[in-house]
Amino acid sequence: MTRRSLRTTVALTFACLVALATAVVGGLSYETAAGMVRADEESVFAGVVNDLQVQVRQGRFTAEDFTTDNPRQNVLPKLLRATRITVQVLGPQGNPVGSERPVPLPFDRADRVLAPEQRAGAGNQREVALGGSRYRTATVALGEGRGAIRIAQRLSDTQTLLSQLRRYIVLLAGAVIVIATAAGWWLARRITRRLTRLAAITQEVASTGKLDLVVPVTGDDEIGRLGHSFHDMLGRLARAKQDQQRLVQDAGHELRTPLTSLRTNISILQRFGELPPETQADLLNDLNQEARELTHLVNELVELAAHERDDEEPGDLQLAELAEHVAATARRRTRRDILVYASPVVVTARRTALQHAISNLLDNAAKFDPDGSQPIELFADGSRIEVRDHGPGIDEDDLERVFDRFYRAVATRALPGSGLGLAIVKDVALRHGGTPFAANRPTGGAIVGFTLGKM
């Protein structure tokens, strides 16, 4: 099945609308003009007949008064004001008298009986046909048996005029439709040009999977806004694809170390009975530790991927209540003293994501403040959430990278962890229109948190 392009559809629609409008206007114009012409011809003929009747009633005219060549005696110029009029005169005996102009029409009995009529002005009107032409005729008696005069108006002249008018209207309408079609095609090209380019790019994206294509974005109308939106969408998809590839690469790199260690220890297990008791204990502890690290890493990878695909809708929640709930859970898990300073405000956020971000901040503070002599502090208001600890702080070279995935400072690589906890905090902050931040406290320790934007 042949697919019709949008450009062709717009052009044909425009041409059809113009054709319809032209046909309606042309038809109405013709009918109006034809009606006016016919009415004018009838009015002129009726006026001539009325004048003739008035004249023959007022004067005693004979047939010779209408046929003489003497312009002073011939009364026809005084009576006839219209062109395209045929005049014929009947004598007292009902016979044609004088010359007939411009063409002779046959008389019938109804005309001849008016020649001997005594009453002046008596007459009849009818239509007759001669040689393919039609005439409107009127016969008027001169009275007292002096004859009669007949005038005739050729209707074919009017029809010829109307036929010419109809032909001109049809030709003009055809020219208008042709011009409108060309104009519609040109206009359709201008309207659909950007859509055509955008459609070609979408087809290329669908067929090749490339997301780094240049989207032509022009104008600020609906099509321009569509181009901007598609450009932004491609950019987001490209960044998401890059993040996905980087996550897979980083995860593969991070998983390689514990898996290699597990494989080595498993190979040693084949000689487990030959090992001294203390070596056996160290091997089992090492296996247990590697399994926990691997489990923790997999759990954080799953959590990070879940956050990226999370479709939880934002809702209103009590920030202080959420902060106290997360702190209580962290107290039980870390056995640390956690102080909460939260404003009793309502924020619009994704509850599960915000809960995970705060929990990761508290876990990070507990891990890097192993002394535990000072409480961990959680501050939360309507736009800023931060956790303060009393640990060694963060090296200045690491402040800008602590939120990168799998990044672990040199001083902390001996500690358990995968380097994904703060990456999840960054992801939650960005998805809530905020930014993550990290700094060192002047009195010692670190301040790590994020801001909340408007959703």
Interval 32-44: pLDDT, tens: 888 887 887 788 8
The pair of structure tokens assigned to 267 is: 């190979």
Distance of CA 427 to the CA centre of its chain: 34
- What pLDDT shows up at residue 184? 80
The full 3-state SS of 197-246, as one line of letters, equals HHHHHHHHHHHHCCCCCCCCCCCCCHHHHHHHHHHHHHHHHHHHHHHHHH
- Cβ contact 67:98 at 8 Å: yes
Quote the Cα angle for 266-268-274, to 5°.
135
Residue 419: pLDDT band (50, 70, 90) is: low
**How confident is the prediction for the chain on average, in pLDDT?**
78
Phi-psi region at 121: left, alpha or beta (left = phi > 0; alpha = psi -120 to 50): left
13-27, 92-106, 319-333, range with the lowest pLDDT:
92-106
pLDDT at 358 over 70: yes
Q: Mind listing the pLDDT tens digit for each residue in 404-413?
A: 776 655 445 4
Helices (H) and strands (E) in the chain, counts: 10, 12
More confident of the two residues 342 and 243: 342
Q: What is the DSSP string of 407-419?
A: ---GGGTTSS--S
CA distance 106 to 410: 127
**CA distances, 339 to each of 233, 362, 376, 379, 444 (Å):** 42, 11, 6, 9, 17
- Cβ contact 79:149 at 8 Å: no
- Bridge partners for 88 per DSSP: 150
Average pLDDT in the 150-171 region? 81
Q: Which of 189, 190, 179, 108 is nearest to 150 (CA)?
A: 108
**Stated length of the chain:** 455
- What pLDDT shows up at residue 235? 78
Q: Which residues contact 208 (CB under 8 A, 6 or more apart)?
A: none
pLDDT at 356 over 70: yes
Q: Mind listing the pLDDT tens digit for each residue in 237-247?
A: 877 777 777 66
- What pLDDT shows up at residue 146? 87
- What pLDDT shows up at residue 414? 47
* Count of Cβ atoms closer than 10 Å to residue 354 Cβ: 26
Q: Mind listing the pLDDT tens digit for each residue in 274-314?
A: 778 887 787 787 777 777 767 766 766 666 666 555 556 88
CA distance 236 to 2: 35
Distance of CA 332 to the CA centre of its chain: 56
CA distance 204 to 217: 17
Output the pTM of the full model. 0.45
